[in-house]
Structure 1
């Protein structure tokens, strides 16, 4: 379907979530409004100065030249004077620099059990896990997962916008994302949603589900963005059906078990006589032939679909991650040693936490923001609602005249008026849209937020099993010696499917 109609050519929006503005506003007028208590936050090394300056130039040109939000830079070492001077010269807002305390940067096992730590890291390198052999990468993911929000420069903010070194923005953002999120009761925003590499997080999902069960967390609708609910039917015997993958397998297994239920009903009522087929099925079951083998990759009838928000771009409320419920979740993960025994990233951790603690309506897809990090990029089509470019009074002119001329020649809006959302976007000539990739989860986001979507219902297993036994007994009344030939008809299944919970 994605080949026939690429995701980027489909409208994505509903009453639950849509772009805050399709096209351009007047940023000079928008900039007259009050600012949020927010800042850009960058974690970088001194050696990444060039990449940091590239990101600053891009974001200042496409957004901050009008809104002048402050920048916060964090490092596990002291920033050099060169780094500070270069950054200050490139930004239109205030700049602050901070150092991450060693106790927040290093994994406790590095001191408590250094051999265990080093062997776990080396073993991941031997298995070829991406970044698994890099201790600094594990430290970074752990810091972003649990302590980033506690840094004294960040914790007093209401909002943060995470920025990585060496990223590009392709569209002008002519409204204030922080204020729009406040106005629409949004708490987290993303631009790219993709699948994680399974060998980096083999036990993260089951650890998370264990935490949710231990704390009796009622999972909201956003949980379905990250979890395949394998529960087809719900009832007293639902644990016996956890090895089925779809409804066809469910009906086949139910049909095979109905004679067993008939025999059990007979034994409970002490009725005279029982058909031979039911007795045979009962004998097979008591000899172990009917026992269920639950697949090892499932946990509590759930399975991780590997989707997550790519957190190298995220706009969120700091109090969401400063809350007791998130802190408790992080410390539960910390105790499992997954931050170094495995290569858990902050992106899937943030995402699974959002799936536990937020409704989907509190999450926003910034589809109108064009963005590139590494080899993945999102660049929307332009809206028909465009405005001429107007320079901000505090613009630092990080780009040359040739580069400025390049951005003024933005892409033409598509003929389909419902598709375009961007403001003065110019996509790269070799652009490969991540929305159209098989690794993207945006199609799931669109489906889950669709206005016409109806919540999934489980089959009422107790009612269905009872009705199926009645159908079997009705068949036996006419064919008492041919129980093994009984089967559910298409009409039978259609009627039984109406029983849901």
Structure 2
């Protein structure tokens, strides 16, 4: 019996494992097909409602882009966008073989700063960009390192590139801080202290070196300085869409000097004094700021009146009206209680008196515990272009203005006493030296670095994928199959619109989280400032709200409300009233 039982158990185990082994191909096929068919989809919202908000006098223009209520209902990523300042260069696909044959390549290149140990990440980025773009246009690759590249690095990148390759060594004097500084106890102490305070990459000397190099010496490297445009590429990045036109050529034709895909907020503890120093540079050099400056600064002096100090943390109209409501209730309560304590025959009922006293206490407790530092009545909103992707004119960063700005920052020692990234420095320079019309949002380029990504919906204008003869087919077969199953082109049946979908043969990850819709994104601000309907009265750059007049109106409104038996807690300022009040400027 024991022997029979063991035989039966062995047979059961054998048959069980056999079934599992035979099922594996089917399981894999099912999983892979599920992956292929699991696409990233829009909500397909009826955007005629959003269009009505644009012309609705009760809707403040700022709220169309910054109100959580509106942006959650109408996500930024699904809004069509085209303005006189900027638009995507191509909605959908062109024929890249025809494009590359009829147009001569510009003096431009991809530039990669990498170490030998980062070769795997470099290959991933190259495979993606060669497959999505460069197989047709064959632009050269430039690799920079602070030490010589080894043979493995050189041979592996040559296996992928369809364009020529150059390897450059960074001068030690341009990579390292001066010896007398880098080896000083002060330098080491402040760098280590940044790590102790939890500042990202703060205690990594190599990171400080890299950001300083990208901010000042990168553009002067012998392999870079004569380029008209460069495209910066990082290791371990991914491109989600085919790019079937020459972005360098389009930048030149449209007089664009800087191009980006992602704009987000910087970590404040990495740049605590960068904006203050930049403001000092602006004042000392008498720089007349262009419209782009509004993308990076909060104008904290867009109102003028006797009680300005009560609005010292206000950054925008929403903040202003929240403070106005709070301050009006507080001032009313304070006036009533003062009158009640004076020789006055008319005493306030104890119940109302208790409520007003509570309101005053709550107001005091809700005062900001820290004040946002401001310089020349402005503060840094922390927005910046994420420079791990940038297509830029080298002329911008080799200009006398930029060189003077970099030297000013270098002399401040901020590149090591703080952990400045090159991204906010490039961005603030663009804010000082370029108009909005000279900057381009590559909204049609799907891109991901680290955990942050942008991926557009596919335009109805699609063409079949045809590889170039120069494509080296280094993409893995499963990746090629994945990319061939593109996301369905978007056409909203509700309004017969493409939602501004611009992508060419995009394949977004099914779990994609669009950066345009995130709280840390500055895309909505970019779209707002470039909108053709952006109103001067709300731009808060050339006008100041008449604070005395507005406060007087608000107090009278509240008194009328209470005299008509309204509850002080329920008094608000309607959207239409806000719109009218925002026109009272000095």
Question: Which TM-score bucket, shorter chain as reference?
Answer: 0.7 to 0.9
Q: Does 1:438 align with 2:519?
A: yes
1:326-365 matched pairs, under 5 angstroms: 326-365=402-441
The SS at the match of 2:379 is strand
Q: CA deviation at 1:4?
A: 1.9
1:41-440 matched pairs, under 5 angstroms: 41-108=111-178, 111=181, 114-233=184-303, 243=312, 245=314, 247-248=320-321, 295=371, 297-416=373-492, 417-440=498-521
Tell me, in whole angstroms, the C-alpha distance in 2 between the residues paired with 1:64 and 1:13: 27
Q: CA deviation at 1:2?
A: 3.1
TM-score (norm 2): 0.71
The SS at the match of 2:248 is helix
* Number of aligned residue pairs: 446
Change (3 A) 1:129 1:247: closer
Tell me, in whole angstroms, the C-alpha distance in 2 between the residues paired with 1:160 and 1:59: 14
Tell me, in whole angstroms, the C-alpha distance in 2 between the residues paired with 1:170 and 1:460: 44
The SS at the match of 1:31 is helix
Residue segments in structure 2 that go unaligned for 5+ positions in a row? 1-69, 332-368, 493-497, 553-572
Per-residue CA deviation, residues 384-411 of structure 1 (Å, 9 max, x unaligned), is: 0000011112111111333222211111
Q: Does 1:500 align with 2:585?
A: yes
TM-score (norm 1): 0.83
The SS at the match of 1:131 is coil
Change (3 A) 1:387 1:120: same
Per-residue CA deviation, residues 391-434 of structure 1 (Å, 9 max, x unaligned), is: 11211111133322221111101233133110000011221111
Match of 1:27 in 2: 96
Tell me, in whole angstroms, the C-alpha distance in 1 between the residues paired with 2:227 and 2:215: 17
Match of 2:364 in 1: none
Q: CA deviation at 1:82?
A: 1.4
Q: CA deviation at 1:459?
A: 4.9
Q: For the pair shown, which has the larger CA radius of gyration, 1 or 2?
A: 2
Tell me, in whole angstroms, the C-alpha distance in 2 between the residues paired with 1:43 and 1:308: 21
The SS at the match of 2:112 is strand
Q: CA deviation at 1:466?
A: 10
Tell me, in whole angstroms, the C-alpha distance in 2 between the residues paired with 1:400 and 1:294: 53
8 A contact 2:372–2:379 mirrored in 1: no
8 A contact 1:242–1:294 mirrored in 2: no
Change (3 A) 1:114 1:234: same
The SS at the match of 1:390 is coil
The SS at the match of 2:71 is coil
The structure that is helix-richer by fraction is: 2
Tell me, in whole angstroms, the C-alpha distance in 2 between the residues paired with 1:252 and 1:373: 42
Residue segments in structure 1 that go unaligned for 5+ positions in a row? 258-292, 470-488
Change (3 A) 1:13 1:109: farther
